Amino acid sequence: MEVALVGITGYAGMVLYQLLQNHPNVTKIHIYDHNLNEPTELNTILPIFHDDHTEVLPYEDSDIVNDNQVAFFATPAGVTSKIASDYIEANFPVIDLSGDMRLNQSDYEHWYHKPAASQRDLDQAQYGLAEFELASGHSYIANPGCYATATLLGLAPLIQQHLIELNSIIVDAKSGTSGAGKALSPLTHFTQVNDNLQIYKPNTHQHIPEIVNELQSWDINVSAIQFMTTLIPITRGIMATIYAKAKPGVDGIMIDKAFSQTYNDKPFVHFLGEALPDIKQVVGTNNCDIGAIYNPATNTVTIDSVIDNLLKGAAGQAIQNFNQLFDYPESSGLNLQTFLP
Ligand SMILES: NC(=O)C1=CN([C@@H]2O[C@H](COP(=O)(O)OP(=O)(O)OC[C@H]3O[C@@H](n4cnc5c(N)ncnc54)[C@H](OP(=O)(O)O)[C@@H]3O)[C@@H](O)[C@H]2O)C=CC1
Ligand SMILES: CC(=O)N[C@@H](CCC(=O)OP(=O)(O)O)C(=O)O
């Protein structure tokens, strides 16, 4: 299988490249860079890949379609919305890590503050939360956002089995700085991040509509969630701490059973009961570890869902979608180990 990769100079793209190199069904990775006019060796563009003399090619969509069987885009919002139709019209599969094809036009323009792709193209894209949506056909896959992945996996059993009051959901999500990509901003400057916690995008985060859409596909009565994001001084990882009121008659045993049943056959989601996970235990892996505690004194369920934003939240889930699209075993290329210590 020959695959195309766009965006290798970014954080998600470079991690995706490493995963593709170790995937048993990938025979050749063609890398395309929008800055190039002529082929250039990877190790001159990214010295971190010092022994890698792969020629990085100028971006050209017809070359991508002719020379590959699938393309991965690890590009910022606003890039694929302009070019998705080239691939959709050619019936050529794409796995898009950006948020460009996850929302309808009006939601995208409202939350991303950019012009949306055409609704006709958006209608062709499949949302790819890998545990619940099976990527299939020669499809355009909208790989989920990192916060959305941690939050949705933490809420799925509770919403699908109608165990919580829908107007009581509060998500307090924390991320390391690699989630913001490689571009420097005042928020991610070392001096600002180090020894600090910063709430950002309060009630305006672009993953809110993505999360609500998917929750509504499980229970149409979901209308809104309270969702806050905090930047924390680590490089990789997300912890979504989720609070909700249990419905009358629901207790800790029912919650435990719902999570165990839902994730029993999902190799990358580990339900740990009341043992609430920390971020470090998933960093370096494609896992989502989840713990849940019910407090009868306040009738509150607390869920703790952790992922590595660059793996389960981006490149790892992209490989899960790739495996689904091409009928490869679910864990192909994803037998990864936690970074230690
Ligand atoms: N970081 C994360 O944890 C997650 C990221 N995502 C999404 O994945 C995508 C990539 O994220 P991330 O790696 O963090 O971003 P980065 O900003 O680190 O990297 C973006 C990459 O896209 C390239 N690029 C920029 N503009 C264009 C263009 N017009 N055409 C082609 N390539 C372009 C950049 O190249 P150049 O070197 O020229 O800048 C770079 O290689 C984003 O949409 C992000 O929202 C999703 C989930 C998690
Ligand atoms: C720490 C940090 O800044 N994280 C980013 C994650 C967003 C992302 O991954 O982008 P998509 O919208 O394409 O999913 C943010 O909060 O905007």
Residue with tokens 């703790």: 304
Mean pLDDT by 10 residues, the chain (341 residues): 98 98 98 97 96 97 97 98 97 98 98 97 97 92 98 98 98 98 96 98 98 98 98 98 98 98 98 98 98 98 98 98 97 97 91
Evaluated on CA atoms 252, 258, 247, 239, the torsion sign reads positive
Instruction: Give the C-alpha separation, 169 to 302, whole Å.
Output: 10
Q: In sequence order, what are the residues at sequence separation of 6 or more whose Cβ sits closer than 8 angstroms to the Cβ of residue 297?
A: none
Q: Which two tokens stand for residue 252?
A: 């800790």
Instruction: Give the C-alpha separation, 90 to 96, whole Å.
Output: 16
Work out the burial of residue 327: count CB atoms within 10 Å of its CB; fewer than 13 is exposed, 13-18 middle, 19 or more buried: exposed
pTM tops 0.90, yes or no? yes
What is the residue with the minimal CA distance to atom 6 of ligand 2? 179
98 CA to middle of ligand 1, Å?
Answer: 8
pLDDT at 168: 98
Confirm or reject: Cβ of 324 under 6 Å from ligand 2: no
Predicted-assembly ipTM surpassing the 0.90 threshold: yes
pLDDT at 263: 98
B/e letters for 98-123, b = 16+ CB within 10 Å, e = fewer, are bbbbbbeeebbeebbeeebbeeebbe
Instruction: Give the C-alpha separation, 304 to 286, whole Å.
Output: 17
What is the residue with the minimal CA distance to atom 33 of ligand 1? 75
Confirm or reject: Cβ of 98 under 6 Å from ligand 2: yes
End-to-end CA, the chain:
35
Work out the burial of residue 62: count CB atoms within 10 Å of its CB; fewer than 13 is exposed, 13-18 middle, 19 or more buried: exposed
Q: Which domains does the chain have, with CATH numbers?
A: 2-144+312-325 (3.40.50.720), 147-309 (3.30.360.10)
What is the residue with the minimal CA distance to atom 15 of ligand 2? 180
254 CA to middle of ligand 2, Å?
Answer: 33
Q: In sequence order, what are the residues at sequence separation of 6 or more whose Cβ sits closer than 8 angstroms to the Cβ of residue 247?
A: 162, 163, 164, 165
